[in-house]
Structure 1
C-alpha cells in the first residue's frame, strides 16, 4: 500500500489570506485543532481504507494479517495512538529470534515501535504502536500526515516481517486472530 501525500485532504479548512492574516501583516499560523475520531474516520475514508468502530468504540482498519486501531485515550482524550495488532503467532521458544528481529526494526525506523505480547497459552504476538499528545491541539496538516504515515508504516512492518521470515511468515493453519482487542497500555 502506498499513500500519495498529495491525496491527503484539507478537510475544507479555510486557508489563511495572502499577505498575512494577523495585524501588522504577520502571516497567520497554521490551523491548530484538537483531533477526534470523526477527523480520523474522514482521513481513513480519504485514504480509501475500510474501517469499522469496534465494541470498545475505537476505529479499526482491518488487513489480511493484522488490524490497525486508531484510539484516543486519557481523561480528556489527550493521547492519540495508532496501534497495530499482528495476527501471526509465534511459539514461546522463538521469542529470542523475534526479539532480535524487532530490535533491528526499532533501531532502523521511527515507527511503529514494535513489541511482543506473550499470552497465557505461551503464544507470542507482535504489536506496533505510535503515539502523540493532542489534547492542547496540533497542527492539522501534521496530524493528518503523521496519521497517514503511521498507517503506512504499520503496513510496511507487516511486509518487512514477511520478508525476514520467508516461509514462516504465513500464520499457521487454523491459527485464529487474538480475541483480545487493543490493550489500554497508554
Structure 2
C-alpha cells in the first residue's frame, strides 16, 4: 500500500512547487514528496505517532537532499540515463536517512538499506520512463505508479522484517510480564 505515497507525493509537489528545474524546487518538492511518502510508509508499517514523526522527517530530508544532488549531477536532464542516476542518488540519500532509524530496530542489516533503495529507485525510474515516455520531460520529482509498484515489490522485505521483529519483541515483553506476575 505504500506505493501510493510515491505518485501522490510527487504529484502534490509538482502542483504546489512546480517542475523540478532548480535547487530550490528540488529541495522543496523533494521534501514535500518525501513527507507524503514517509507518512504513507509510517501508516503502512504501523508506526506509532511517536515513531512516525522521525520516519516522515528522515524520508523528507533524504528525498530533498537526494533530489537536489541527483538533479544537479544530471543537470536536470530527463533522458533515461539521467533518470536512473537521479533515482540511484535519491534512493541512496533516502536509504541513508531511514537506515539511521532502522539500525535500532533491525541492527546492522540496516546498513544495506541505502544500497537496496539506490538500486530500487534507479529501477523505478527506468520502468516509469519506459511506461510514461515523453511525460518525464515535465520534470517530475519521483517516478510514477509503475515505478512505485516495482520499488514496493523490491523493498517488500522491510515491512515484513519490521513486523516480525515487532511481533517477537511484543511476545518477549509479554513473557517477561507473565513471568514477573
- TM-score with structure 1 length normalisation? 0.31
- TM-score with structure 2 length normalisation? 0.32
Which protein is bigger by CA-based radius of gyration? Answer: 1
Higher helix share: 2
